Every structure is written in structure tokens, then in C-alpha cells.
């Protein structure tokens, strides 16, 4: 089976299951996710076959990619690599006169359903959709990341800041007051 860099549903009809694969670079602008600061290489590998419904096609594959994300707490770049398997059911787009509410219901129920109008599907578009789904919502450089000081904005992983010292002083000061009061009570 030779692999093409696009899916052609007509070939699936004529010759049975078709393999397709592609490797390309993606930029943050392609992905439209604020968490991504630098793109990387993407590889998509899949098999398209006939689905259970009429004119439905089943696309099953794997997407691998690397990117630099931003830590949601300290804003440092976080190298990220992901491999995810996916299944998408391509169904012919319901015609304009079809009940819109019905269409919305279908999309909400079956997240893996996509509508096609063209018998050819671009692998790049498909890979980008899958990456968007797999990028974590709140990436972290480390589960124990201490983030930024809410007062001065210093990165608390690298070094503390004067703000926390002040808080500490107040706390000790509070204890000191209590201790002094306790001692006074003892004396009296
Ligand atoms: Zn972090
Ligand atoms: Zn601070």
C-alpha cells in the first residue's frame, strides 16, 4: 500500500482502505493556542476505510509532535512532546435545508464526527485539529512549580523575593507579640 500525503475517499471506494502519512513543521500561529510559544515537527500516519454508514469514512491514526508550551504558573517555556491516537468519522455535510438543531445535536453527541464536502482531506489540517485537542489547557513546567510572586512578579522557582520575607517577618512578629503577652500574664 503506497502512502499519500492526503486522504482520497474516492480511492477508499474503489480500492479499499488507504494509508496516508506526512511530516511537516507547524508554527504557533497555525495552532491558535496561546499556550504554544514555539512550534516543531509534526508526523501524522493514518488509515482511511469505509464506515458503517453510507458515505461515512473512518480515519484512524496517530499524530506525533513537539512544541514549546508556556508554564501557566511561571510563564517559562516547557518543552512538550505528544503522541496521540485518534479516530475521526467523516460524514457528508448535511445539506443547508437540514434542521440546524439536529445537526448541532449530532456534533455535540459525537465528538469524533467531522463533516466533509470534499472527497480529499488534507493531512495538515487534520493533524493541526488533533494537536489542538491534545495540548494541555494549563501546562506546567513542574507539578511543584511555585509560579510568580503575585506582588512583584518574580519567578519563585529561581529565587525568593523580598515580598515573602516581609510576610515572614510579620508572621514572626505576630508570634512575638503573643509570646510577650503570655510572658506578661505569667508575671502578673
Ligand atoms: Zn512553571
Ligand atoms: Zn515578590
Structural contact between residues 51 and 113, judged by C-beta atoms closer than 8 angstroms? no
Whether residue 63 has pLDDT greater than 90: yes
Distance 141 CA to ligand 2 centre (A): 20
Whether residue 32 has pLDDT greater than 90: no
Element (H, E) at 177: helix 162-187
Distance 156 CA to ligand 1 centre (A): 9
Write down the mean pLDDT value for the chain.
85
Element (H, E) at 92: strand 77-92
Mean pLDDT of 50-56: 92
pTM to 2 decimal places? 0.72
Ligand that lies nearest to the alpha carbon of residue 147, given by its number in the listed order:
1
Protein residues within 5 Å, CB atom, of ion ligand 1: 71, 73-74, 141, 145
Whether residue 186 has pLDDT greater than 60: yes
Question: DSSP secondary structure string, 19-45?
Answer: EEEEEEE--HHHHT-TTEEE--EEEEE
Amino acid at each position: 500500500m503506497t502512502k499519500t500525503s492526503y486522504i482520497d475517499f474516492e480511492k477508499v471506494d474503489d480500492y479499499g482502505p488507504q494509508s496516508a502519512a506526512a511530516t511537516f513543521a507547524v508554527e504557533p500561529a497555525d495552532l491558535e493556542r496561546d499556550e504554544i510559544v514555539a512550534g516543531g515537527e509534526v508526523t501524522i500516519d493514518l488509515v482511511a476505510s469505509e464506515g458503517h454508514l453510507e458515505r461515512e469514512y473512518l480515519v484512524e491514526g496517530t499524530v506525533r509532535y513537539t512544541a514549546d508550551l508556556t508554564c501557566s504558573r511561571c510563564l517559562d517555556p516547557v518543552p512538550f512532546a505528544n503522541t496521540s491516537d485518534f479516530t475521526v468519522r467523516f460524514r457528508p455535510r448535511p445539506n443547508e435545508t437540514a434542521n440546524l438543531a439536529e445537526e448541532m445535536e449530532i456534533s455535540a453527541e459525537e465528538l469524533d464526527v467531522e463533516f466533509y464536502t470534499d472527497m480529499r482531506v488534507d493531512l495538515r489540517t487534520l493533524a493541526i485539529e488533533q494537536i489542538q485537542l491534545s495540548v494541555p489547557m494549563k501546562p506546567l513546567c513542574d507539578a511543584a512549580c511555585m509560579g510568580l510572586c503575585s506582588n512583584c512578579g518574580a519567578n519563585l522557582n529561581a529565587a525568593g523575593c523580598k515580598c515573602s520575607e516581609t510576610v515572614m517577618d510579620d508572621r514572626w512578629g505576630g508570634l512575638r507579640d503573643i509570646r510577650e503577652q503570655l510572658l506578661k500574664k505569667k508575671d502578673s
